[in-house]
């Protein structure tokens, strides 16, 4: 029904944007422009966007490059982490770690040559993907994290993305390469400062080499009034383990696309997600785990608590391709609705083309157990405290997957601030 309204929205949206001058392939950028010239913003008629309207993003009078020199660094998660700060898709060297420990290769894409960026665009597909094409065409900067073969980076890497200003359109492109037997922990944090009506669009391409072990904690808490479309595209080689914890705690409209291609045998993929929504927030988690080869395990657990008039969308898809035998894939989505105006759309999907597999998914939607709340109140808790205790226990299943104690503490303190829960 928004079809006609959105006509030419894309052209208007891109009018004041400047083409990316990052050193990756110009063919990709041209392809992106073609996609943008021949498509418009997606509508709810497209299965991928059935429950999410992007009209509010489309109507932003998008401008890039706003910088706010007065921006102050928030309290840091943990001083021992290797900190890299981006504001509106621009590297803030002044706020970032000044000297890297020896042997670690982490740098801004803007300082990379074309060889270093040869892998950019090799995982994501642009065809009919407007947000991917926007990012490819207009990306200003991003981080390159290269973990060498056999290298274990013992300090966690913290990549902080700050959105600021009005009508900002921020396009960040990241590339994470974890070579064979490499190991690292990365925190991708998304927050905003004095931002309104702004959108951040991030693509992170992640290569996980053979026997590598990579963990990503993705913590999102841009303030309301802002929008985010964030994509991680992951390629796993044999014997590797990839874990991503996606914690979404704020933002008016957030769309997460998490796509994992498992291209090697004996891999483990863990996808955990927690989302807490209030007011009119809309959070949409789309995940795909594509099992292309045999003998792999994937575990997916997403849980959300939805207050007020907020809407949560979960669309998790597991593919098991032909000949990808002996796959164990588990997927679970749980939602608690805390108000009569809250809503949830859950679509856990299995698409299976191999026979010797064990796959299951479950989805539950409900409210807190009144009996349990009564029990807690009879033990002297206020109703609010009882409810908070119950929901924090519900979400706790996911939060406990965050292994780094500093990150967990930060998540808990954000939840405490925004929702008044105690942990």
Q: Rule CB under 8 A: say whether 350 interacts with another protein.
A: yes
Q: Rule CB under 8 A: say whether 340 interacts with another protein.
A: yes
Alpha-carbon distance values, 337 to 32, 42, 363 (Å): 39, 28, 14
Task: Please identify which residue in 364, 375, 382, 384 interacts with another protein, judged by CB under 8 A.
Answer: 364
**Cβ nearer to another protein, comparing 28 with 312:** 312
**Which residues are CB-neighbours of 312 under 8 A, at least 6 positions away?**
275, 277, 282, 283, 284, 285, 304, 306, 335, 343, 344, 345
**Cβ nearer to another protein, comparing 7 with 367:** 367
Strands (E), 138-181: 143-147, 157-166, 169-178
Radius of gyration of the chain (CA): 21
Which residue's entry shows tokens 């291209």?
Answer: 263
Q: Are strands 297-306 and 241-248 parallel, antiparallel or unpaired?
A: unpaired
Task: Please identify which residue in 338, 395, 410, 411 interacts with another protein, judged by CB under 8 A.
Answer: 338
Strands (E), 339-397: 343-352, 357-366
Query: Minimum Å distance from CB 225 to another protein?
Result: 24
**Cβ nearer to another protein, comparing 30 with 341:** 341
Query: Minimum Å distance from CB 335 to another protein?
Result: 7
Question: In angstroms, how far is the first alpha carbon of the chain from the final one?
Answer: 44
Q: Rule CB under 8 A: say whether 279 interacts with another protein.
A: no
Euclidean distance between CA atoms 177 and 175, whole angstroms:
6
Which residue's entry shows tokens 């504001």?
Answer: 87
Task: Please identify which residue in 61, 152, 322, 384 interacts with another protein, judged by CB under 8 A.
Answer: 322
Q: Which two tokens stand for residue 328?
A: 């164990």
Query: Minimum Å distance from CB 350 to another protein?
Result: 4
Q: Rule CB under 8 A: say whether 325 interacts with another protein.
A: yes
Which residue's entry shows tokens 């928004």?
Answer: 2
Q: Rule CB under 8 A: say whether 118 interacts with another protein.
A: no
Q: Any idea what DSSP says for residue 399?
A: H
Q: Rule CB under 8 A: say whether 280 interacts with another protein.
A: no
The 372-411 site mask, x for binding another protein (CB under 8 A), equals: ----------------------------------------
Task: Please identify which residue in 124, 133, 262, 357 interacts with another protein, judged by CB under 8 A.
Answer: 357
Task: Please identify which residue in 133, 337, 389, 402 interacts with another protein, judged by CB under 8 A.
Answer: 337
> Which residues bind to another protein, rule: CB under 8 A?
47, 51, 322-323, 325, 335, 337-367
């Amino acid at each position: 029904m928004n079809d006609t309204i959105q006509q030419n929205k894309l052209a208007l949206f891109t009018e004041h944007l400047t083409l990316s001058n990052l050193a990756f392939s110009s063919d990709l950028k041209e392809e992106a422009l073609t996609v943008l010239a021949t498509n418009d913003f997606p509508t709810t008629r497209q299965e991928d966007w059935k429950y999410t309207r992007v009209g509010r993003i489309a109507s932003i009078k998008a401008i890039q490059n706003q910088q706010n020199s007065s921006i102050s660094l928030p309290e840091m998660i943990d001083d021992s982490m290797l900190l890299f700060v981006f504001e509106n898709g621009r590297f803030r060297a002044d706020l970032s770690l000044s000297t890297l420990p020896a042997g670690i290769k982490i740098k801004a894409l803007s300082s990379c040559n074309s060889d270093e960026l040869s892998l950019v665009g090799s995982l994501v597909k642009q065809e009919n993907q407007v947000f991917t094409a926007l990012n490819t065409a207009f990306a200003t900067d991003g981080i390159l994290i290269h973990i060498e073969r056999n290298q274990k980076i013992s300090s966690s890497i913290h990549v902080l993305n700050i959105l600021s200003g009005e009508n900002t359109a921020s396009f960040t492109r990241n590339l994470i390469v974890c070579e064979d037997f490499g190991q690292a922990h990365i925190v991708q944090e998304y927050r905003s400062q004095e931002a309104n009506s702004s959108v951040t669009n991030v693509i992170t391409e992640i290569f996980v080499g053979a026997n590598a072990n990579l963990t990503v904690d993705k913590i999102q808490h841009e303030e309301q009034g802002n929008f985010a479309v964030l994509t991680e595209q992951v390629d796993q080689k044999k014997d590797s383990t990839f874990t991503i914890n996606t914690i979404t705690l704020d933002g008016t409209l957030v769309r997460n696309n998490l796509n994992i291609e498992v291209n090697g045998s004996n891999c483990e993929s863990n996808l955990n997600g927690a989302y807490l929504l209030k007011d009119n927030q809309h959070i949409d988690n789309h995940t795909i785990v594509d099992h292309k080869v045999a003998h792999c395990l994937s575990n997916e657990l997403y849980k959300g608590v939805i207050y007020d008039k907020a809407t949560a969308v979960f669309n998790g898809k597991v593919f098991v391709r032909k000949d990808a035998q002996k796959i164990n894939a588990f997927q679970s989505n749980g939602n608690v609705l805390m108000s009569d105006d809250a809503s949830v759309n859950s679509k856990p999907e299995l698409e299976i083309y191999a026979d010797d597999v064990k796959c299951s998914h479950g989805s539950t939607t409900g409210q807190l157990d009144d009996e349990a709340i009564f029990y807690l109140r009879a033990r002297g808790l206020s109703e609010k405290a009882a409810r908070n205790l119950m929901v924090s226990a519900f979400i706790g299943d996911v939060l406990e997957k965050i292994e780094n104690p500093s990150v967990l503490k930060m998540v808990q303190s954000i939840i405490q601030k925004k929702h008044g829960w105690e942990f």
